[in-house]
């Protein structure tokens, strides 16, 4: 990547888009110094599409990796940010964008991988869960960890209140991790990110 130019970032999302909204806010505030060039969505009913429209961010509905790759090339995307993208990217796609895909997961990985992490942690009865931002590798919810932050589960918590706690952390942690990435501060050494 060219160190001087402003990087083009793409967010991939399939749902309501609260993390997308947090990223938009951080870009607008100048906390993330990048051009939010594209939203890639695979669900025509997703709330995130409306958010993109309101924020003036270009969005595309794409179902296949071929289509996605074409949009990434056309928009000269440097960094891919997965924010609730419900499709597993193929090993080939991940290899082609090695160390240029970030993901956020609502648990302290490697605990509670998968699509229902907050509920799974709540049902398990853990006293602490949290949020992980990590690089994406060929295995699901597995790549090197960039940032983690814990969230306490108190006796009075319901699933809904825990969800709210987790999302609040996400909206702070993801922009922070993206910013560190763009500032070239992250060095990957095996599983360790410094």
Minimum CB–partner distance for residue 11 and ligand GRF (Å): 9
Give the active site residue among 71, 105, 134, 171. 105
Query: Residue 69, class by beta-carbon neighbours within 10 Å (0-12 exposed, 13-18 middle, 19+ buried)?
Result: middle
Give the shortest CB-57-to-ligand GRF separation in angstroms.
Answer: 14
33-68 burial string, b = 16+ CB within 10 Å, else e?
ebbbbbbbbbbeebbbbebbeebebebbebeeeeeb
Interacting residues toward ligand GRF by CB under 6 A: 13, 15-20, 83-84, 104-106, 170
* CB nearer to ligand GRF: pick between 104 and 146: 104
> Whole-number minimum distance, CB 99 to ligand GRF, in Å?
19
Q: CB-wise, 17 or 155, nearer to ligand GRF?
A: 17
Residue with tokens 């918590």: 157
Nearer to ligand GRF, 105 or 165 (CB): 105
Assign residue 142 a region: left if phi > 0, alpha if psi is -120 to 50, beta otherwise?
Answer: alpha
* Nearest position to ligand GRF, beta carbon: 84
Concerning whether 105 is annotated as a catalytic residue, the answer is yes
Which residues have a catalytic role annotated? 105
């Amino acid at each position: 990547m060219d160190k001087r130019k402003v990087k083009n970032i793409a967010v991939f999302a399939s749902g309501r888009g609260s993390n997308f909204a947090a990223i938009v806010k951080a870009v607008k505030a100048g906390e993330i110094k990048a051009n939010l060039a594209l939203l890639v969505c695979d669900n025509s009913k997703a709330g995130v599409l409306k958010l993109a429209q309101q924020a003036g961010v270009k969005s595309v509905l794409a179902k296949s990796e071929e289509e996605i790759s074409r949009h990434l090339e056309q928009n000269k995307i440097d960094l891919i940010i997965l924010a609730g993208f419900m499709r597993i990217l193929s090993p080939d796609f991940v290899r082609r964008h090695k160390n240029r895909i970030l993901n956020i997961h609502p648990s302290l990985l490697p605990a509670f991988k998968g699509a229902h992490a907050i509920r799974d942690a709540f049902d398990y009865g853990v006293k602490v869960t949290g949020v992980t931002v990590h690089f994406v590798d060929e295995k699901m919810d597995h790549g090197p960890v960039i940032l983690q932050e814990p969230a306490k589960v108190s006796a009075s918590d319901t699933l809904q209140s825990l969800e709210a706690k987790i999302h609040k952390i996400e909206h702070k942690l993801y922009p922070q991790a993206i910013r560190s990435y763009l500032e070239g501060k992250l060095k990957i050494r095996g599983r360790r990110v410094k």
